[in-house]
A and B are shown apart, each in its own frame.
Chain A
């Protein structure tokens, strides 16, 4: 089965189905939560897009809105208290926010799948992993129990779970953390979706297993030519896997760049701070840098640039005007492809 076959039954305009256009495009997305204390603006106008075979890493600390954006894409946001007052989420050119619940459910799992952070709590403890994997085939594809089980074993082999045949009837608690995350990946992969959203897939794992899981994810993504949105707060995880990076702060994208450029020359003080706070061997004995202050309270986002209270470069304009995400250029004005920064002083930041 090819991608084209699979999408044939989706009511998508054929014109937007060509491989060149972005698979998923988020346009000016706003998400807010109505709480007792007021309106928490979790996402304030996020734009990004992912094409087939491409990996976008969404980077940011907790509360920056990266997971909420992902949940809005998947349509698993709790509404209420959540609300999407503005924005579009285009999947193959179709706005998912305008679809019916049933249409969206057809997309979930089959076209877009999600991998969660904590694989133990994301697997149902009372059902065997074989049942849960097979469920994908039985429910979505109407396979028989036997065929579904064979497919489930093949999937477990595919994500390199040793002795898949013997372990198919085991329960989630009988697997180690890394193995469970592999099972989650297998479940997300089951229906060969076009796009996978991985929400901090390695945060709950130890470092050696992290690398294995990331490698597996990258390999599968290449093999299936899927789009991948990788949500993380770990700069180390991103470097090897991602094609491009979007850095989020207080519900906005503050910097976008191809992956290697951002490490070399960050164009936003926040990104710069993040990079400087990675422990490095050549800084042994020195004090580790940390961005001062705390992430903003989403009920009271600072006026102007949300980062201004913590920023070393902040001027008066930063406290009054919200900087737009503008293209970043070289000193001589030549455009740097795919780069953007939402800072009034990006020139000073990147060119020092």
Chain B
């Protein structure tokens, strides 16, 4: 046996027909993800939704960039239900004032943070939990799968909003983290099912058996071979679900069991806006439109990502 693998110069006659350097001609090597990115950049759906989302994220992180007004400053004497001044772009009175005399524009800007933070953190939690559960159930099968799948079914059977109402009403003080954990607690099942199904397909793949035959450990197979191949549908579902969590937060706040004053969120504003619906509809409509735009942006992003990752689903 030679000491090490000896280098031999490639035999030029071998497989001359096999187009030796097609990749060199095409430029960089292309992975699934770089291909997807290539597709995404050319998709109008992605460009529009990405611009919207970046805009909303900046708003959530740096609300001070958009308004100097304080969302909690109430001035009943001057501003009680004052109508919007549509011409005053990005001014304090652009969207008018609510029943407490607070700037609706300032509240919409500051409300983005709570709404988006709830949605993003819930999505991250749900994706991690759901992927872990789904991957273990799908890969190991047998009794592990039976137990995890039944637990998933039980949680899946609980109606989302009803379940959240039951959980949230049992807390006296509904801090933002309580809402986040309640939503994550009930929301992971969809991801778990998608991940399990995806892993079931991937684990049959020859490269998983090949990895096993070449001595890879179970952890390595799960993390290097199964996870990257099974994650695409999970990402798509998670992106679309993110929009759903924004509206879930708004729904729960509207029902009075989600976030509550003094937290500034779109749901809280929609909830307080409903009282004056007949004489000042704008108080309710403006935060509702923000919710709709945000949900739409994330669902569009989810669609664009799905199209890029798996063009056959289009």
Interface residues of chain A, those whose CB is within 8 Å of chain B, are 1-3, 74, 76, 105-110, 113-114, 116, 118, 121-128, 135-136, 139-140, 151, 154-155, 157-158, 160-164, 166-167, 169-171, 174, 176, 178-179, 184, 187-190, 192, 209, 212, 223-225
Contact B1 A224 (CB under 8 A): yes
Given A125-B229, A157-B9: A167 in contact with B1 (beta carbons within 8 A): no
Contact B224 A135 (CB under 8 A): yes
Q: Which residues of A contact B2 (CB under 8 A)?
A: 223-224
Q: Which of under 10, 10 to 19, 20 to 34, or 35 or more describes the interface residues of B? A: 35 or more
Minimal beta-carbon separation of A166 from chain B (angstroms) = 5
Minimal beta-carbon separation of B33 from chain A (angstroms) = 8
Given A116-B206, A176-B18, A178-B18: A160 in contact with B8 (beta carbons within 8 A): yes
Complex CA gap A150/B15 in Å reads 24
Which residue of B3, B19, B30, B220 is within 8 Å of A1 (Cβ)? B3
Q: Which residues of B contact A109 (CB under 8 A)?
A: 213-216
| B159 interfacial by beta-carbon distance below 8 Å | no
Q: Which residues of A contact B29 (CB under 8 A)?
A: 128, 169-171, 174
Complex CA gap A155/B6 in Å reads 8
Shortest Cβ distance from A6 into B: residue: B1
* Contact string against A for B residues 5-49, beta-carbon threshold 8 Å, 1 for contact and 0 otherwise: 111111110110011111110000111110000000000000000
Contact A160 B206 (CB under 8 A): no
Shortest Cβ distance from A179 into B: residue: B18
Number of A-B contacts (CB under 8 A): 138
Q: Which residues of A contact B79 (CB under 8 A)?
A: none
| B211 interfacial by beta-carbon distance below 8 Å | yes
Given A128-B31, A167-B21: A179 in contact with B209 (beta carbons within 8 A): no
| B225 interfacial by beta-carbon distance below 8 Å | yes
Shortest Cβ distance from B217 into A: residue: A105
| B87 interfacial by beta-carbon distance below 8 Å | no
Q: Which residues of A contact B207 (CB under 8 A)?
A: 121-125
Complex CA gap A124/B206 in Å reads 9
Complex CA gap A224/B2 in Å reads 7
| B262 interfacial by beta-carbon distance below 8 Å | no
Given A108-B212, A158-B7, 11 extra CB contacts under 8 A: A108-B213, A114-B214, A128-B31, A160-B15, A162-B12, A162-B20, A164-B10, A166-B24, A174-B30, A178-B18, A224-B2
Complex CA gap A184/B18 in Å reads 17
Given A1-B4, A174-B29, A209-B15: A124 in contact with B225 (beta carbons within 8 A): yes
Minimal beta-carbon separation of A64 from chain B (angstroms) = 20
Minimal beta-carbon separation of A18 from chain B (angstroms) = 16
Minimal beta-carbon separation of B154 from chain A (angstroms) = 27
Complex CA gap A110/B213 in Å reads 10
Contact B212 A76 (CB under 8 A): yes
Complex CA gap A34/B45 in Å reads 51
Q: Which residues of B contact A3 (CB under 8 A)?
A: 1
Complex CA gap A174/B28 in Å reads 11
Minimal beta-carbon separation of B217 from chain A (angstroms) = 7
Given A121-B207, A178-B15: A161 in contact with B10 (beta carbons within 8 A): yes
Minimal beta-carbon separation of B18 from chain A (angstroms) = 4
Q: Which residues of A contact B21 (CB under 8 A)?
A: 162-163, 166-167
Instruction: Enumerate 22 A-B pairs (CB-CB under 8 Å) in ascending A order.
Output: A2-B1, A108-B212, A108-B215, A114-B210, A116-B210, A123-B207, A124-B224, A124-B228, A124-B229, A125-B32, A125-B207, A126-B33, A128-B29, A136-B214, A151-B5, A154-B7, A160-B15, A161-B10, A163-B20, A179-B15, A190-B214, A209-B18
